[in-house]
C-alpha cells in the first residue's frame, strides 16, 4: 500500500517532531504516521533502505530512530523539506511508495 496523497484531508495533524509535521494516527512503536508536508514520508510503510537519502541532490532526508517498529528501527525523515527542489527522485526510488512530494504543499510546511 502506498502513501495516501490526500493525507492532509484524510488525517489529522497531531504534532511535530524535529520541526517536521506529523499526521496521525500515531501509536508507537507500531504506528508513527506520516512525517512532512511538502515532502511526506509514511513511516508506517517505510523500509529504510536509504535510497531516498542516497539519491536526494539537496539532502532533504535524515535518519531518525523508530525503535520497535515492525518494518525498521530507523526511518528517513524529511527534516529539510524546505530545501526540496521537486525533482521527484525520492519518489521514483522508494521501493514501497512511502514518499509523496507535492509542490502545491510547499507553502504549508
Residue 14: which CATH number?
Answer: 3.30.70.20
Is there a domain that residue 1 lies in?
no
Pairing between strand 20-23 and 13-17? antiparallel
Residues annotated in the binding site, as ranges?
Answer: 35, 46, 52, 56, 84, 87, 90, 94
* Annotated binding-site residue numbers for [3Fe-4S] cluster: 46, 52, 94
Assess if residue 64 is contained within a domain: yes
Residue 2 belongs to some domain of the structure: no
Question: Is 75 inside any structural domain?
Answer: yes
Q: How confident is the model at residue 107 (pLDDT cuts 50, 70, 90)?
A: low
What mean pLDDT, rounded, does the chain reach? 95
Q: Which residues are annotated as a binding site for Zn(2+)?
A: 35
Task: Identify the domain containing residue 22 by its residue range.
Answer: 7-108
| 90 domain-assigned | yes
pTM: 0.95
Residue 24 has pLDDT above 80, yes or no: yes
Task: Please return the burial class of 34, using the count of CB atoms within 10 Å of its CB with bins 0-12, 13-18 and 19+.
Answer: buried
Binding-site sequence positions for [4Fe-4S] cluster: 56, 84, 87, 90
User: Does position 109 have pLDDT exceeding 70, yes or no?
Assistant: no
pLDDT for the residue numbered 10: 97
In a domain, 44, yes or no: yes
Per-residue pLDDT at 93 exceeds 60? yes
In a domain, 69, yes or no: yes
What's the number of domains the chain is made of?
Answer: 1
Q: What is the distance in angstroms between the CA of the first residue and the CA of the last residue of the chain?
A: 25
Percent of residues, the chain, with pLDDT higher than 90 = 93
In this prediction, residues 90-106 reach a mean pLDDT of: 93
Amino acid at each position: 500500500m502506498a502513501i495516501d496523497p490526500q493525507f492532509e484531508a484524510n488525517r489529522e495533524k497531531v504534532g511535530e517532531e524535529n520541526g517536521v509535521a506529523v499526521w496521525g494516527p500515531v501509536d508507537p512503536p507500531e504506528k508513527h504516521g506520516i512525517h512532512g508536508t511538502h515532502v511526506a514520508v509514511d513511516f508506517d510503510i517505510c523500509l529504510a533502505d536509504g535510497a531516498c537519502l542516497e539519491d536526494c541532490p539537496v539532502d532533504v532526508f535524515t535518519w531518525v530512530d523508530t525503535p520497535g517498529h515492525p518494518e525498521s528501527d530507523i526511518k528517513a525523515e524529511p527534516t529539510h523539506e524546505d530545501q526540496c527542489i521537486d525533482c521527484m527522485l525520492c519518489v521514483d526510488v522508494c521501493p514501497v511508495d512511502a514518499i509523496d512530494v507535492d509542490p502545491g504543499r510547499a507553502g504549508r510546511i
